[in-house]
Amino acid sequence: MRISVLDQSPVAEGSSGAQALRNTLDLASLADALGYHRYWVAEHHGGPMLAGASPEVLVAEIAGRTARLRVGSGGVMLPHYSPLKVAETFSILASLHPDRIDLGIGRAAGTDPLCAFALQRDRRQAAPDDFPEQLAELLAYLEDSLPAEHPFARLAKTLPGPERPQPWLLGSSPQSAIWAAQLGLPYAFADFINPGGAEITALYRERFAATGGPSGRVRTAGAAPQVAVAVWALCAPSEEEAQYLAASSRMTLRLLRRGQLIPVPPPERALEFLAREGAPREGRGLPGRRAVIGSPSQVRAGLEELAEAYGAEEVIVVTITYDHGARRRSYELIAQAFGLSPEVEGEAGELEPLGRSYPR
């Protein structure tokens, strides 16, 4: 089972988006040294908590700073963009970093409706919901498979460089699974958004087999479907400490359900908030979400259980903490728990205690 990282570039209370992006670059270098398989960065707009508004910029910077990781978007929110522009951008990235670039494609806005409208070039009316057509056009550019009579047919031959990214379809619904299967694409399911996805990935495998597998040169090699499951997880030396650190996300998600977006609060303030609300201070999940929280052995068991339920060959771990050091340490402990090892030299360093107690 491969272990990878999804980084949403969280902004801590009292910090800044610039620092969050520097933390992303730092974490990517650490993941490269630890032996993680791939590193994806997310796309979010117009909020105070997540700083990654431009995954293609971060992909370029991360790929240039790392040696062996696959690097990509988790994902590019295609409804905001021209398929040709996305094809051009990721063809440049793939040509600069051959065999290392993934193009994870999503349908969600990654923001609220007003910000999504502000991102439109033409604001005379709302953009059409034509994601399947956008996706087909994007793949056709990457594969140079537009019909000769298509008005854009010649443009595929003008993409920069000879290399192409590996496309993935991201999703959390049955419809995304159907599209991924029909198009022969690898499928990454967001369990941290929808924890009931095992039946959906089973649907993907079933439909994939019925289509006969991929038909384009940039899609899945061979005739086998590929499933990755993205899971929210937080690992610490003890379950008590992990639950303490997870309080920050319990508070942010509780407020998110009320439409209130905030930077990631410190655990102490989050625990005070949860106490006032009469909300759980710990547990196996987060408000409305599944989470794997605990010691290294507990987190490994939880991630293996989820991978088996989804039939996934890969687990992509997303972790949010107030303290960047705690997030680094979580990924270090997970790497140790799974016995990851890098293919190039790189040392993660010794794990140091944070020097505080963790009240229950």
The answer to whether position 34 is within a domain reads yes
The whole-number pLDDT of residue 212 equals 61
Q: Which pLDDT score, from 0 to 100, does residue 216 have?
A: 60
Tokens 């490269």, located at residue:
32
R_g (Cα) of the chain, nearest Å: 20
pLDDT of 214: 54
User: How many other CB atoms sit within 10 Å of the CB of residue 274?
Assistant: 18
Tally the domains of the chain.
1
Residue 349, pLDDT above cutoff 70 = no
At residue 202, φ and ψ (nearest 5 deg) are -65, -40
**What pLDDT shows up at residue 356?**
42
Between CA 175 and CA 166 the distance in angstroms is: 21
- Please compute the mean of the pLDDT values over residues 47-73 and round it to a whole number: 97
Asked if the structure places residue 346 within a domain, the reply is: no
Asked whether residue 359 is domain-assigned, the answer is: no
Q: If 0-12 CB within 10 Å is exposed, 13-18 middle and 19+ buried, where does residue 165 land? A: buried
| Domain ranges, residue 75 | 2-338
Question: Quick check: helix, strand or coil at residue 343?
Answer: coil
More confident residue, 168 or 349: 168
The pLDDT value given to residue 313? 96
For 138-168, what is each residue's pLDDT tens digit? 999 999 999 999 999 999 999 998 899 999 9
**pLDDT given at position 218:** 64
Q: Indicate if the pLDDT at residue 22 is higher than 50.
A: yes
Residue 318 within any structural domain of the chain: yes
Q: What is the pLDDT of residues 181-218, one digit of tens each?
A: 999 999 999 999 999 899 999 999 999 977 665 556 56
CATH of the domain at 98: 3.20.20.30
Q: Is 7 domain-assigned?
A: yes
pLDDT in tens, 264-319: 999 999 999 999 999 888 887 788 889 999 999 999 999 999 999 999 999 999 99
Does residue 178 lie in a domain region?
Answer: yes
For 222-234, what is each residue's pLDDT tens digit? 568 999 999 999 9
How far apart (Å, rounded) are the C-alpha atoms in residues 43 and 164? 21
- On the CB side of 182, how many CA atoms lie within 13 Å of its CA? 10
pLDDT (0 to 100) of residue 223: 66
Beta pairing class for 227-235 and 292-294? parallel
pLDDT band at 219 (very low <50, low <70, confident <90, very high): low
pLDDT of residue 284: 77
Say if CB 8 and CB 318 are below 8 A apart.
Answer: yes
For residue 350, being part of any structural domain is answered with no
Which is more confidently placed, 260 or 127?
Answer: 260
Does some domain include residue 358? no
